[in-house]
Amino acid sequence: MVRSTHVVQQTLQACEGGPVLMSTFTSTNPARPAEVVAELPSHTAADVDAAVSRAASAQRAWARRPVPERAEAIAAVGAILTRRKRELAELVSREAGKIRIEGGGEVQEAIDMAAFVAGQGRAAWGDVVPSELQDKLAWTTRIPIGVVGMITPWNFPMAIPSWKIFPALLAGNGVVMKPSELAPACGVAFVEACLEAGIPADLLQVVHGGPEPAAALATHPGVGAVSFTGSVPTGRKVAAAAMEVGPKLVSLELGGKNAMVVLDDADLDLVLDGALFGAFGTSGQRCTSTSRLILQRGVAGDLVDRLVDRVAALRLGDPLDEQVDVGPVITAESGARIMGMVEAAVAEGAKAVVGGGLRRDVPGCDGGTFVEPTVLTGVHPDHRVAREEVFGPVLSVIEVDTLDEAIDVVNSVEYGLSAAIYTRDLNSAFAAVAAIDTGITYVNAPTIGAEIPLPFGGTKHTGNGFREAGARGIEQFSQVKTVYVDYSGRLQRAQIDNRSDA
């Protein structure tokens, strides 16, 4: 059990001197819920307040350090993550239920993010434009916000903290993060790697628990920006509460209802590999998971038959077993919610052609909640299962006649995160890329698979316009300052019509 880590000890300290008795909670292995992974303190609003104060006082010195020096500290975190990759990947598998290659992928994503953000520390930091007046310079630079509050989900418990913490630190901020109560040890381990690399301990604070410390963080007057990743309903609450206490920069990365469109001319082998990876990877618990398979009618019958065979062969089990394809879902409540959506779909006329139930007999996984990888056919775009995020291993097949109809179905939901089109026809592919209303669109690749150097995020209810990763990832953690330097030695008036022919 992860217990006496530095960060946990630090966060177990009383706000005003000395250790105190504090209530705690545990995180458990979703494959075997009796196995405790970590014990964490349940923080209160007072603890959040203390964490914000500490981060604020450390931030002033941090912001005075040259940006390349901050970048070097981030690069050093990447080196530590690389050295500890196997151990950290295993922790992700144990606490978040991801299969081994996904746990490793999660840590690798954080390593890649460290390299990318460290590089940004020696890259262009603003714009320089020619001034409209003589002997005058005009440029922009970036300034920190102060203290940034971060509220993160359980399903990318190291990668998402890396997407937020590295750019926030590079921009010169202090950070208080509240990781998900379902995978807090991963957040703690990530922050410990940061501290080991030399990031000042007070600068980077972690608070633990559920909605109470999260809400206290979002509404704290000393927190200048709130960066939230999670579900749409929680994101709405966090944004409303944060804005209630005064204008703040609030960035939201929320859910998805991602679709894969398959036209009649597609390479069906490629489609099958992509659909399996997109829909059932991470047990369908990615924001970008493929949830709707929109098939042009000519390929539907053959493809569904082949898909059923492939899905039936997926091996469920302990994520640490290298032979396993699909791990558990995160909690029993999550499993019940997913089954409720499958049952509602069947009541509305859909049919589970493979899966459709819970598996309780998975060897070595007592008490784990395993949802059978499920394919539903006969789904109509109006069905609940076709409109709401399932966040589980359930793929809804919707048949259409034309590309235009397919695009209408893709765009008919309130989410706009990721979509994919499979076709060999160049014109259809580009027409779809232009018409699909999502933040990320793939051609002949599944809806999951974002890369660090490009922006990640969605349209419509998936977010509020910010993007994570990529060169723009720093925008939600900094303000732009515009600088004018006039070295003419006289008053030169801008915003005045100086032209003689006026």
Q: How far is the CB of 439 from ligand NAD (least distance, A)?
A: 9
Question: Going by C-beta distance under 8 Å and a sequence separation of 6 or more, which residues neighbour residue 18?
Answer: none
CA torsion, ordered 216, 217, 223, 227, to nearest 10 deg: -140
3-state secondary structure 313-372: CCCECCCCCCCCCECCCCCHHHHHHHHHHHHHHHHCCCEEEECCCEECCCCCCCCCCEEC
- Closest CB to ligand NAD among residues 112, 399: 112
The count of other CB atoms within 10 Å of the CB of residue 21 is 7
Both tokens assigned to 367: 């008490």
Q: How far is the CB of 249 from ligand NAD (least distance, A)?
A: 17
Helices marked H in 219-331:
232-244, 268-280, 297-312
287 is catalytic: yes
Both tokens assigned to 127: 């714009």
151 contacts 457 by C-beta, under 8 angstroms:
no
Nearest Cα to Cα of residue 54 among 176, 181, 184: 176
Q: Which residues bind ligand NAD (CB under 6 A)?
A: 151-156, 178, 180-181, 210-211, 214-215, 218, 229-231, 234, 237-238, 253-256, 287, 389, 391, 417, 462
Q: How far is the CB of 136 from ligand NAD (least distance, A)?
A: 42
DSSP single-letter state for residue 482: E
- Closest CB to ligand NAD among residues 122, 236: 236
The count of other CB atoms within 10 Å of the CB of residue 228 is 28
Question: Going by C-beta distance under 8 Å and a sequence separation of 6 or more, which residues neighbour residue 270?
Answer: 422, 444
In 3-state terms the chain splits into helix, strand, coil percentages (rounded to 5) of: 40, 20, 35
Q: State residue 104 phi and psi, 5-degree precision.
A: -65, -40
Question: Residue 227's beta-bridge partner residues?
Answer: 150, 251
Q: How far is the CB of 53 from ligand NAD (least distance, A)?
A: 21
Q: Is residue 402 classed as helix, strand or coil in its secondary structure?
A: coil
Rg (Cα) of the chain, in Å, rounded? 24
- Closest CB to ligand NAD among residues 303, 390: 390
Question: Going by C-beta distance under 8 Å and a sequence separation of 6 or more, which residues neighbour residue 129?
Answer: 138, 139
Both tokens assigned to 9: 């000890």
Catalytic site residue from 102, 253, 389, 399: 253
- Closest CB to ligand NAD among residues 369, 462: 462
**Would strands 351-354 and 374-377 be described as parallel, antiparallel, or unpaired?**
antiparallel
Number of Cα atoms under 13 Å in the Cβ half of residue 31: 25
Nearest Cα to Cα of residue 252 among 468, 458, 463, 438: 463
Catalytic site residue from 186, 194, 287, 365: 287
Residues 292 and 397: their CA atoms lie apart, in Å, by 6
16 is catalytic: no
Residues 161 and 146: their CA atoms lie apart, in Å, by 18
- Closest CB to ligand NAD among residues 296, 396: 396
- Closest CB to ligand NAD among residues 62, 228: 228
- Closest CB to ligand NAD among residues 116, 154: 154
Q: How far is the CB of 238 from ligand NAD (least distance, A)?
A: 5
Q: List residues with catalytic annotation.
A: 253, 287
